[in-house]
Amino acid sequence: MGCFMYSMNAQASPSGQPPPAGSDVYRDLMTYMAWMSDGIPTGERLPGALYPKVPKPEGGYDLERGRVVYQQNCALCHGSDGQGTRNGAGDVRFPPLWGPQSYNWGAGMARINTAASFIKANMPFGKPYSLSDQDAWDVAAYLNSHERPKDPRQTGTVAEAAEAFHAGEDSFYGKTLNGHLLGTGAELSPQ
């Protein structure tokens, strides 16, 4: 349910909710995962599984360098505005990285260190490990310096949610950038 709520942002779905506990969707996903792992010894880590932790550069990260890395390496697939791209049928080809249709503030990818590690090991598409550690951190910070949907756990203020759910994270949640308090949530436009 966590993947539906945070990474897939159930708030952006027509129902606004993940499938209920006990739904056939979860059984089907588990069956698919078991089928995909057929013949794999239990507990064995396969090449390419997960991704490494990328150490934070000594000088930290820089949003302007991240913007340049994004435009040079990411915009072709994810759009110059970070809103992703769709195929001719309207299906998501490459997902939005910020804005109302992206993952929300509760997703692991909203943490800069998690995004940097994923980016380093997987991006640009088809060219994993082609970005330096610095580039991965810079572009991860740039992506996560934009507003996205609210953290679904937030019931009070951004400050309260920052303390309860985001304390100690390498994240922009609850911080003010360019005069905007991040975490207030990017809203979907009425259809």
Which tens digit of pLDDT belongs to each residue from 162-183? 999 999 999 999 999 999 999 9
Q: What is the CATH number of the domain that holds 121?
A: 1.10.760.10
The percent helix, strand, coil of the chain (3-state, each to 5) is: 35, 5, 60
Domain holding 106, by residue range, is: 52-181
Q: Can you give the pLDDT at residue 35? A: 84
> Is position 28 within any domain?
no
Task: Work out the number of other CB atoms within 10 angstroms of the CB of residue 2.
Answer: 12
The pTM of this model reads 0.83
* 9 within domain boundaries: no
Residue 53 Cα to chain centre, angstroms = 16
Can you tell me the mean pLDDT for 30-43?
Answer: 83
Phi, psi (rounded to 5 degrees) for 190: -60, 140
Please check whether residue 25 lies inside any domain of the structure. no
The number of folded domains in the chain is 1
**How does pLDDT run across 43-102, given as a tens digit for each residue?**
877 766 667 899 999 999 999 999 999 999 999 999 999 999 988 888 889 999 999 999
Residue 23 lies in a domain: no
pLDDT for 93-145, tens place per residue? 999 999 999 999 999 999 999 999 999 999 999 999 999 999 999 999 999 99
Are 96 and 84 in contact by the 8 Å Cβ rule? The answer is: yes
Nearest-angstrom CA–CA distance, 104 and 89? 25
- Is 43 among the domain residues? no
